[in-house]
Amino acid sequence: MPSVGHVVQPNDEILPLIYASEEVKAHIQKFVPHPGTDPRWDALKHDLAAVEAELGIRVAPAFSDHVNDQQPPWTDITFFRLYLDHPTKALPYIDPATPPYILFDTIKGNLYQGEEVNEPLWDVLSSIIPFYQQYGVDGARIDMGHALPTDLTKLIVERAKAIDPYFSFVAEETVKEKSTSIKQDGYDMMIGNGFYALPRYLEGQTKEYYFGYKDNVIPVFANIETHDTKRAANREYGGKDYAKALTFLNYFMPNGVPFINSGQELLEIQPMNLGVDCGLEEQFVLPESDPFHGHLALFDTYQFHYLNPEAVSFIDQLEQVAAIRFAYPGLFQAKHAQFIEYEDVIGFSYQDGDHRIEIVANLSTYHSSTVAPVDVIFSSQEYDLTLRPMEVKIIRF
């Protein structure tokens, strides 16, 4: 639907255009009533391949909740209907007798609800986390949780926290301005948009992200990539050196929760998915000689490059940085943080009583800077007072 733009969240203004689309009409016509009245159903219902072969129907694949998203269909999952009727705002455009279907508005239960709650489904969904809590799980991100109706989100949170008041929920939310509302829904932290902002140093977004969440009502992920985005090691600015520098900084972002995406520690360059901030060409960045050239790990057979020699020292340094973070319990809290900025250097200074630690990074690609003549307890390059391009140092006063 080119008339509505690229990767657009469904809204009331474009809803009529969505339902008027010939492609959407053809899509909806593919849905059929439940085959429970077919005499063959009971014998076939536990074998989806047989259902498809005998009845000519299949479980509908899921897909992105945004219009004109370039992601391929999510063929390994589907969406259940959270309401037994169609979304109220869709009724002017759809026959109420139409069999249950999947479309952008039926997915976005946070924006579009029906009148009749699918209570058995809500009960199942709100019982999943309590089941796993008996095995010691103490936190979770609800995938596509941003698309759930508020009442269902609160039910899920209440049931989990009735068992463990300290159970931590991560909101799949990227918009800072929604922090207060998602906290009210019961979330304890949010993903944020670090995967988009942090790679954009030249545009000023790196500093804005690092310095902008200190007083946020909930913590945010300190992350430079996710399973849906371009790989940090393949970004235009700074490449692998920049990816490493920001990964170190992320351990100390005020009010940030350090997050390393699978494969980031190995400096993987080919993304797992093309979902967010990623061009189609990114699927093919590995050499053609690589057996996983063109493979997306969320959809295809894939193997991380564990033998990448560049990753060995990086992983060793990540362990060193983590040890420093845990060596000073209570120090690296937002209330103790001040920001550092000069030339192309940004960083954080933490002081609590006699303890003072500074984490600084030179994010220039070409010129060096200096640090104060103090105790350098970590360096990503050299243990001296020169701060080289893309070097991170941790210094103790």
Task: State residue 373's pLDDT score.
Answer: 86
* 196 and 72, same domain (yes or no): no
Q: Which long-range contacts (CB under 8 A, 24 or more apart) does 383-388 make?
A: 387/345, 387/360, 387/362, 388/362
In this structure, is residue 137 part of a structural domain?
no
In this structure, is residue 356 part of a structural domain?
no
In angstroms and rounded to an integer, the radius of gyration of the C-alpha atoms of the chain is 24
* 219 and 329, same domain (yes or no): yes
Q: What is the pLDDT of residues 5-63, one digit of tens each?
A: 788 889 999 999 999 999 999 999 999 999 999 999 999 999 999 999 999 999 999 99
Total domains in the fold of the chain:
2
In this structure, is residue 53 part of a structural domain?
yes
Task: State residue 288's pLDDT score.
Answer: 97
Instruction: Single out the residue in 335, 358, 390 at which a domain terminates.
Output: 335
Q: Does position 2 have pLDDT exceeding 80, yes or no?
A: no
DSSP characters over 352-389: ETTEEEEEEEE--SS--EE--SSEEEEESS-SSSEE-T
Instruction: Single out the residue in 65, 100, 116 at which a domain terminates.
Output: 116
Question: Which percentage of the chain shows pLDDT scores above 70?
Answer: 100
* 202 and 69, same domain (yes or no): no
* 214 and 316, same domain (yes or no): yes
The rounded distance, in Å, linking the Cα atoms of 9 and 20 is 17
Tell me the backbone φ, ψ of residue 357, rounded to 5 degrees. -130, 135
Q: What is the pLDDT of residues 165-212, one digit of tens each?
A: 999 999 999 999 999 999 998 999 999 999 999 999 999 999 999 999
pTM assigned to the model = 0.84
Instruction: Single out the residue in 54, 81, 116 at which a domain terminates.
Output: 116
In this structure, is residue 52 part of a structural domain?
yes
Domain, as residue range, for 283: 192-335
* 93 and 196, same domain (yes or no): no
In this structure, is residue 18 part of a structural domain?
yes
Q: Does position 3 have pLDDT exceeding 80, yes or no?
A: no
In this structure, is residue 163 part of a structural domain?
no
* 199 and 306, same domain (yes or no): yes
In this structure, is residue 179 part of a structural domain?
no
* 222 and 325, same domain (yes or no): yes
Structure-token pair, residue 175: 């918009």
Task: State residue 72's pLDDT score.
Answer: 83
* 89 and 210, same domain (yes or no): no
The rounded distance, in Å, linking the Cα atoms of 65 and 174 is 15
Q: Does position 275 have pLDDT exceeding 90, yes or no?
A: no
In this structure, is residue 217 part of a structural domain?
yes
How large is the average pLDDT for residues 154-162?
A: 96
* 205 and 324, same domain (yes or no): yes
Q: What is the pLDDT of residues 96-134, one digit of tens each?
A: 999 999 999 999 999 999 999 999 999 999 999 999 999
How large is the average pLDDT for residues 235-239?
A: 96
